[in-house]
Amino acid sequence: MSIKETAGLPCLSVQELSYAFAKDKPLFCKLSFDLAEGEFVSLLAQSGMGKTTLFRLIAGLLKPQKGEIYAPKQQIGYMPQRDCLMPWRSVLDNAAVGLEVKGLSKREARRQAFELLPEFGLEGTERRMPHELSGGMRQRVSFMRSLLAGGRLLLLDEPFSALDAMTRISMQEWLLQIWEKHRPTILFITHDVDEALLLSDRLLIASHAPVSRLHGLKVGQPRPRSYETLLTPPFIDLKQRVLELLRPGMPSPEGASAHKEGWE
């Protein structure tokens, strides 16, 4: 019933996890799954099935009632749906928070964060305040802060859901570039099937509550990908499989059944 450091294990390993809020039906019942080092995995489920709660459990903000979570302590970056930038801090100082929480002095944290601003498309914005930024720019700052705070495992909770369509596409392409360079392990919550297929190595799909089993579906298509890729027959077929799995009561389509990676 605890969160433990990984040692010779996958980057993230959830084993027999059970959790329920007081007087409510359980959200998770003996749920198990693993994430490999450097893997990009998207989690899809209907609203209210506990996706954000799962992130809070992995991040250590909630305590598992039963089961174990093996995760890289002090190397987890958690990016919630809202960017949660500090309105009184500049772009640079918001980004540097990720290093300050790891024990660096404010001066050293600012120095290191400043050097990385161009990589995140934030060059020349270091003195700007959050209210002066577009939604996409705010998300870049938030992601940079999360990467600097964690580095090894990133939990991204619908980070682009509030953005307009064109900005969202731009941010997805940008995220893939950053992931390709740094290769953190990413667990990504989304309701957008196209987004999940575009970004991910593998999808985890919850069909029923309480969640005791996740369907694992490997994307298995080469990178780099683009939105044009989503119009090809393999991706159209994958999308159909995902949509069928997300519909309650629907049988698992051929080729998309759960397999032994913690989903059985």
CATH value at residue 170: 3.40.50.300
Residues 101-111 have a mean pLDDT of 90
Lateral strand order in the sheet of 2-5: 2-5, 66-71, 12-19, 28-35
Same domain, yes or no, for 107 and 210? no
Q: What average pLDDT does the structure give for the chain?
A: 85
Same domain, yes or no, for 168 and 237? yes
What pLDDT shows up at residue 252? 44
Measured from the Cβ of residue 146, the count of other Cβ atoms closer than 10 Å reads: 24
Quick check: 254 pLDDT over 50? no
Q: Which of 96, 122, 150 is the last residue of a domain?
A: 150
Same domain, yes or no, for 159 and 85? no
Same domain, yes or no, for 195 and 161? yes
Q: Which residues contact 96 (CB under 8 A, 6 or more apart)?
A: 106, 109, 110, 112, 113, 148
Same domain, yes or no, for 255 and 158? yes
Same domain, yes or no, for 171 and 234? yes
Residue 127 near residue 92 (C-beta atoms within 8 A): yes
Q: Which of 132, 150, 168 is the last residue of a domain?
A: 150
Same domain, yes or no, for 9 and 114? no
What pLDDT shows up at residue 9? 58
Same domain, yes or no, for 142 and 160? no
What pLDDT shows up at residue 193? 94
Range(s) of the domain holding residue 208: 1-75+153-264
What pLDDT shows up at residue 208? 85
Total number of domains constituting the chain: 2
Same domain, yes or no, for 176 and 244? yes
Q: Which of 92, 115, 150 is the last residue of a domain?
A: 150
Same domain, yes or no, for 123 and 213? no
More confident of the two residues 86 and 75: 86
Residue 194 near residue 239 (C-beta atoms within 8 A): yes
Q: Which of 168-172, 238-242, 258-262 has the lowest mean pLDDT?
A: 258-262
Same domain, yes or no, for 101 and 225? no
Q: Residue 71: what are its φ and ψ, rounded to 5°?
A: -145, 160
Q: Tell me which residue of 202, 182, 194, 204 sits closest to 228, measured CA to CA.
A: 194
Q: How confident is the model at residue 24 (pLDDT cuts 50, 70, 90)?
A: confident
Quick check: 242 pLDDT over 90? yes
Q: How confident is the model at residue 261 (pLDDT cuts 50, 70, 90)?
A: very low
Q: Which residues contact 102 (CB under 8 A, 6 or more apart)?
A: 74, 148, 149
Q: How confident is the model at residue 248 (pLDDT cuts 50, 70, 90)?
A: low
Q: How confident is the model at residue 207 (pLDDT cuts 50, 70, 90)?
A: confident
Angle at 113 between CA 129 and CA 130, to 5 degrees: 15
What pLDDT shows up at residue 16? 94
Same domain, yes or no, for 56 and 177? yes
CA within 13 Å, CB half, 195: 24
